[in-house]
A = this chain, B = another copy of it.
Amino acid sequence: MNQNRMPLVEAITQYQKRNPIRYHVPGHKGRGEGLLASLYPFDLTEVPGLDDLHHPEEAIREAQQLAAEAFGAEETFFLIGGSTVGNLAMLLAACHPGDEVLVQRNAHKSVMNGLILAQAKPIYLQPEVDPITGLPVTVSLQELKIQLQKHPEAKAVFLTNPNYYGMGMNLRPYAELCEEYGIPLLVDEAHGAHLGLIQGLPGSAMQAGASAAVQSTHKMLPSLTMSSMLHVKGPRLNRERLRKALTMVQSSSPSYPLMASLDHARHYVLHVGQQELRQSLRLSAQLKDGLAHMAFSWLEVVEGKEHYDYLDPLKVTLRTHSHELHGFALREWLEQQGVFPELADEHHVLLTLSPKTTDDELKRTLSIINQLERTQLAGSNQAVHYRPLSSPLILSPYEVFQRASSSVPLQAAVGEISAEMITPYPPGIPLVAPGERLELEMLEYIQELQRMGCRFHGVEDTTLKTLKIIKNDED
């Protein structure tokens, strides 16, 4: 295929060249004032020559085929609803109501929502916890083996890889294991759109043999926010159901700038992006060197000690375990200096580089960090030793969504069914999932984690004075 072309970008340019009088939507007719003034001319709709995302036959079809070739897929779908819709569609395609599916417990909330819409019954796979950082990483192969043996009827395996911090596993043995059971390996690869594109980067899910992988192209490559790709390979995931599901959850008025930015990003990574990706690896190494000179530490792979196969070099995680510095305080200080990290937790500040990160930015960053008087930024830094507890799943996420809930004091929740996800940070692994029974031991552990300084996500009342439980039918 001719990877020098950008079929969709070209089609939009062609339409513009005709200087059309527009009696079609959108209402701005290609003109507008303010912030987005220069964008309006390219914000088009399904006029002749611009194809149709939901029935692609021309430019969009070609652009998707070029993307499939570039990213090693049999078929690629452009997503204009973010990786969210990719996760929803994979689950809707793989599961019929009541089907069991093996799902990494700390999956993105869109995966939980996909379980609701598909009415699937999750069998949660407990992720490993990296003992050095306390961060959750991918499920071990051993855990997957055990759960597949226990649940031979499961219709799919759903993993998240790499994690937010760039820790990942080589998925090849996982894909082979799924193939033994004849079920698809579905991967939320939101953080890995750049994987496998040049030497020096870890491989991608497609390269490892996954059946389907969703990549947030916008996260690590230069496409627009909310534009993602769903790559598919092999016969394990029903393509007809997948197409139907994508049509269900994606807009019937898809954004052309978002789609064009995917076409552009694919072209980019095969051309100028190759060089810029290599430069980003050099910049990442320089950043770490500079930090080392300032006696800063960052996350690195220590042979034989880690629970993951690779660390994405474009994710640089500053560690603040020196008891001088609090992750949140460091982030705030950096932001005051004009350096905006991706995220912070108690112990870490994550800097996400991309092929678009520049040499100049890197130098400015190092010179800013060099000014840091660390003692000004004290904060609590008690390590939390998280231990997973398990509660029985009484209702599926779908059943929880359909049932009424009420808030009760934490003490009164013993024996009740949780209507919410209770996720302590760190490490960000749900302790209680919706539909699980709140047993006394679990509630005591929640209070213990709270005393140790954990924050809780996913809950309506973040103080945890009250919890949301499923109302009894008699109430």
Interface residues of A (CB under 8 A from B): 9, 12-13, 18-36, 38-40, 42-45, 47-48, 80-85, 88, 96-97, 108-110, 113, 116-117, 193-194, 216-226, 244, 247-258, 260-261, 264, 272, 316, 335, 338-343, 350-357, 361, 364-365, 401-402
* B361 pairs with A21, CB closer than 8 A: yes
* A402 pairs with B96, CB closer than 8 A: yes
8 Å CB contact of A21 from B255, B338, B354:
B338
* A34 pairs with B264, CB closer than 8 A: yes
* A253 pairs with B38, CB closer than 8 A: no
* A35 pairs with B12, CB closer than 8 A: yes
Task: List the B side residues contacting A193 at CB < 8 Å.
Answer: 27
Given A340-B22, A351-B23, A28 contacting B223 (CB threshold 8 A) = yes
Task: List the B side residues contacting A26 at CB < 8 Å.
Answer: 218-219, 222-225
8 Å CB contact of A85 from B251, B339, B361:
B251
Given A27-B220, A338-B18, A365-B21, A81 contacting B352 (CB threshold 8 A) = no
Task: List the B side residues contacting A38 at CB < 8 Å.
Answer: 38-39
Sample (5) of A-B pairs whose CB atoms are under 8 Å apart: A23-B353, A23-B357, A27-B355, A43-B225, A257-B257
Q: How far apart sit A25 and B228, CA to CA, in the bound complex (Å)?
A: 13
Question: In the complex, how many angstroms separate the beta carbon of A195 from the nearest chain B beta carbon?
Answer: 13
Task: List the B side residues contacting A340 at CB < 8 Å.
Answer: 20-24, 47-48
* B261 pairs with A36, CB closer than 8 A: yes
Q: How far apart sit A110 and B221, CA to CA, in the bound complex (Å)?
A: 31
8 Å CB contact of A25 from B28, B219, B401:
B219
Q: Which residue of chain B lies nearest to A332 when distances are taken between CB atoms in the complex?
A: B48
* B225 pairs with A44, CB closer than 8 A: yes
Task: List the B side residues contacting A339 at CB < 8 Å.
Answer: 20-21, 23
* A81 pairs with B251, CB closer than 8 A: yes
Given A356-B28, A356-B29, A35 contacting B264 (CB threshold 8 A) = yes
Task: List the B side residues contacting A249 at CB < 8 Å.
Answer: 88, 113, 249
Task: List the B side residues contacting A218 at CB < 8 Å.
Answer: 25-28, 253
Q: Which residue of chain B lies nearest to A260 when distances are taken between CB atoms in the complex?
A: B35
* B257 pairs with A39, CB closer than 8 A: yes
Task: List the B side residues contacting A402 at CB < 8 Å.
Answer: 96-97
* B226 pairs with A253, CB closer than 8 A: yes
Q: Which residue of chain B lies nearest to A190 when distances are taken between CB atoms in the complex?
A: B253
Task: List the B side residues contacting A253 at CB < 8 Å.
Answer: 82-84, 216, 218-219, 225-226
* A225 pairs with B35, CB closer than 8 A: no
Q: How far apart sit A88 and B339, CA to CA, in the bound complex (Å)?
A: 39
Question: In the complex, how many angstroms separate the beta carbon of A76 from the nearest chain B beta carbon?
Answer: 18
Task: List the B side residues contacting A85 at CB < 8 Å.
Answer: 251
Question: In the complex, how many angstroms separate the beta carbon of A363 from the nearest chain B beta carbon?
Answer: 10
